[in-house]
Structures are given as structure tokens and as C-alpha cells.
Structure 1
Amino acid sequence: MGTSVTISAATDEDAEQILKLQYLCYQSEAALYDDYGIEPLTQTLAALRAELSGGCVLVARLGDEVVGSVRGTVDASGTAAIAKLIVHPRLQRHGLGGRLLAAVEQRLAEERSATRFRLFTGHRSEGNLRLYRSHGYAPVGTEERSRRLSLVTLEKEAAAEEFVAQA
């Protein structure tokens, strides 16, 4: 591929591409847990647009195509919730998920004063768990959602260098 992947803030014009990519990417999760009613597969365009206006949403682009995305919000205590990290299947296992994760962490720390990062994934999602652990996340809890699904919550503290990067 002659064009490099760039990461930037998502715009409202990206909403449809993000939603289509989200639908594609979450098919494997739905199959893994035999549950095609999961929220990423049922989210509406209006709900996604609301997330775009209220949170930190990044996209990875290959030319004009959105090939990855991630979202984050920060609560009053400084804890950032990172969600819906997706990478197009043809670009997975090339480091793009890690780049998106690092980019959203940096934005949330610099622009929204995040001091801790939290995310979750299904207990059978080994690729996700491996990625998050390799980026410093540690499991802090597990919640059984159904007989087939337990959600693993992982956290990490924001690194000191994230706070002094702008100094």
C-alpha cells in the first residue's frame, strides 16, 4: 500500500464509515460469544453521532477510507473509559490497534486530564487481552454478563511522561 495510515480526530462526516467498520469488526466477537445482539452491532447512526459530539473519537485513515477507530471519555475522577477499538480485518496484526490505543490515551491525558485508563473486553477475546496487556493494562475485575460472556475490566495509570509531554 503506497499510502500510509494516519490517525486524527473523527468528524461527523466519518460517522457512516465508522458505523460500517464497527459492524464488520464486531462480527467475530459476536460469533465468538454466539450473540449477535451486542451493542456495537445494534448501535444506531444517531447514537454514534452523539458519541462523536460528546467524546474523544479518533479514526485511522488509509487515504480516504476509515480503517480503524477508537473512542474515549473521561469522568470527574480523571478515569478515562476507552471503548470500541476497531481495526479493519485486513489491517489487523500490524500495530494499528496499538497506535490507536496510544493516540487516544495521549489525547485523553493531554486534553481531558485523564489520570487512569479503563477498558473492557470479553474473557475469550485473547487477541484483545494480549494487546491490552502489551500496552500496560492489568485485569482489575470480571463481571459475568451471561453464561457465555464475562467482561474483563483492565486498567492502567497514565504515565508521568504523558503529563509532561506538553511542558
Structure 2
Amino acid sequence: MGMSVTITTASEDDAEQILKLQYLCYQREAELYGDYGIEPLTQTLDALRAELAEGCVLVARLGAEVVGSVRGAVDTDGTARIDKLIVHPRLQRHGLGGRLLRAIEDRLAAERDAKRFRLFTGHRSEGNLRLYRKLGYTQTGTERVSQRVSLIHLEKPAATPATYATSA
């Protein structure tokens, strides 16, 4: 096969590739909901650079190409909010989304003392919901954000350090 995908911490040099990939990946969501004004499609490069400076951003690379990314931040009560999990369409359905999600969970628990993980997705995003449930997330609520879109909120507790040691 050749190259394998590696997951590393994103740098400011990755910002443009992440933003382009984000734009590509969220086209499907925008089409699904009939809303091309969603935040991932309107986010600016400066706003993304601010996220890179403040939060935890991981990228998946195939050689020099960024083919996936995920972001997370932990608030003062230990709640990690995971956001914008993206995988290039040509690499979807091969386990990379799950690898990225587990990597950000591990990083936020180990380095930022996350006690629980929270994320959300649109109510029609069945693939996302399937992945999150498979990885232990349970639905905690639904938020109607427009006539077309409701967000499904999901959460799971962070594993204990002993759990991380045995799952490696």
C-alpha cells in the first residue's frame, strides 16, 4: 500500500490545509440540511488559527497531505468539547474518524485532565451518530437550532488512567 496515515498535533502551518479539508467535508452536511451558511463553511482562517493557538488540534496525515482533523478543548469543570471531526471523503469508512476521536480523547484526558467528553452532530447525520455510539457516546439532549436542523448532543465519561493502560 505504501504510506500509512499518522496522527500528530497540528501546527499553524497546517491551518490552510485544515480549512480547505473542512470546507470539502462539510459540503455533504450543508447539502443534507439545505444550509450552506453553517459555521464550518463560514469559518475564517484567522478564527481557525485562534483555535490552533488555544485548543488541542490533531491532524491525520498521509505523507504531507492533511486528510483528517479534530479539535478539542477542556473547560474548568473538566468537560472536553470535541468539535469538527473531519476525514477526507476518499478515506472515510476506513476507521480514521474513530482513530482521530480516540486520539483526541486520550490527549485531552492525559494532558488537560478531561473528566468527560461532549460533542454534537446534526439529527440527520446517521454515519456520525453511528460512530459516536460505537465509541461509547450516549445522547444527552436535542437542540433545535433552525427549522431544518436539530443538534443531537452526546457525552461519555473519560476513561480512568488504568483503562488507558489496559486498552493500549
2-structure distance, mates of 1:122, 1:90:
22
Cα pair 1:109 1:163 within 8 Å, conserved: no
CA change 1:7–1:164 in 2 (3 A) is: closer
What is the CA–CA distance in structure 1 between the aligned matches of 2:130 and 2:164, rounded to whole Å? 28
1:45-64 to structure 2, matched below 5 A, reads 45-64=45-64
TM-superposed deviation, 1:162: 6.2
CA-to-aligned-CA distance 1:44-66 (integer Å, 9 cap, x gap): 00000000000000000000000
Structure 1 residue 39: Cα displacement: 0.3
- How far residue 147 of structure 1 moved from its aligned partner, in angstroms, is 1.1
Q: State how many pairs are aligned.
A: 165
**TM value normalised by structure 2:** 0.96
- Decide whether the 8 Å contact of 1:25 with 1:89 is kept in 2: yes
Query: 2:139 matched to 1:139?
Result: yes
Cα distance in 2 for residues equivalent to 1:3 and 1:13 = 21
Residue aligning to 2:22 = 22
Match of 1:110? 110
Alignment partners' CA distance in 2, 1:24 and 1:38: 13
RMSD between superposed Cα atoms in Å: 1.0
Aligned twin of 1:98? 98
Gaps of 5+ in 1: none
TM-score, normalised via structure 1 length: 0.97
* Structure 1 contact 87–97 (Cα < 8 Å) conserved: yes
* Cα separation, partners in 2 of 1:133 and 1:14, compared to 1, 3 Å: same
Aligned-pair identity (%): 75
Q: Is the CA contact 1:82–1:117 (under 8 Å) kept in the aligned structure 2?
A: yes
Report 1:9-88 matches (<5 A). Answer: 9-88=9-88
Cα deviation digits, residues 79-117 of structure 1 (max 9, x gap): 000000000000000000000000000000000000100
Contact 1:18 1:66 survives alignment (8 Å): yes
List, as ranges, runs of 4+ consecutive aligned residues in structure 1 with deviation greater than 3 Å: 161-165
Q: Describe the SS at the equivalent of 2:110.
A: helix
Structure 1 residue 159: Cα displacement: 1.1
Q: Is the 8 A contact 1:70 1:101 kept in 2?
A: yes
How far apart in 2 are the matches of 1:146 and 1:8? Answer: 36
Q: Which sections of structure 2, spanning at least 5 residues, go unmatched?
A: none
Distance 1:163 1:47 in 2: 35
